[in-house]
């Protein structure tokens, strides 16, 4: 399974904000820290604000910060949220599937079991588990 860039950037935003809980950050600051697209990050930040993961404050002196404590942001739920439209294989779709062997294929069930195991592992962790080494992360981001 490969996570989308959107999910990857989601983790980067939340990790950065989790490292700076008392500060407001900007999209430009995040883009510079990670050397990634400001435009793409803007979409991620907008989404995270809509979902209630972060607070966005407009205007001079504005910025973004976590809306929840890092120990309340569950990794499994976050990946489910951000990967909602992403299918592991075509036959997982509720719509049309062009694969002729779906009715007799065992791979679909095996992949569903593997995906469930993947999420069971992610469900054990929160954002706070990703920022247990703040000093090392800070050095890499500065």
How many angstroms separate the CA atoms of 127 and 125, rounded?
7
Percentage of residues in the chain having pLDDT higher than 70: 92
Domains observed in the chain: 5-141 (1.10.10.10)
Write down the pLDDT at residue 89: 61
Read off the pLDDT of residues 66-116 as tens digits, 9 standing for 90 and up: 999 999 999 999 999 998 866 666 566 666 777 777 778 788 888 889 889
């Amino acid at each position: 399974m490969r996570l989308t860039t959107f999910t990857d950037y989601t983790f980067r935003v939340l990790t950065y904000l989790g490292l700076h809980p008392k500060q407001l950050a900007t999209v430009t600051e995040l883009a510079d820290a990670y050397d990634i697209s400001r435009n793409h990050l803007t979409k991620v930040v907008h989404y995270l604000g809509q979902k209630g993961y972060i607070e966005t404050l407009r205007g001079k002196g504005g910025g973004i910060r976590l809306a929840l404590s890092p120990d309340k942001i569950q990794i499994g739920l976050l990946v489910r949220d951000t990967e909602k439209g992403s299918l592991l294989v075509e036959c997982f779709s509720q719509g049309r599937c062009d694969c002729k062997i779906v009715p007799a294929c065992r791979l679909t069930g095996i992949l569903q079991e593997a995906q469930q195991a993947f999420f069971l592992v992610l469900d054990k962790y929160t954002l706070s588990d990703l920022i247990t080494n703040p000093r090392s992360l800070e050095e890499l981001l500065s």
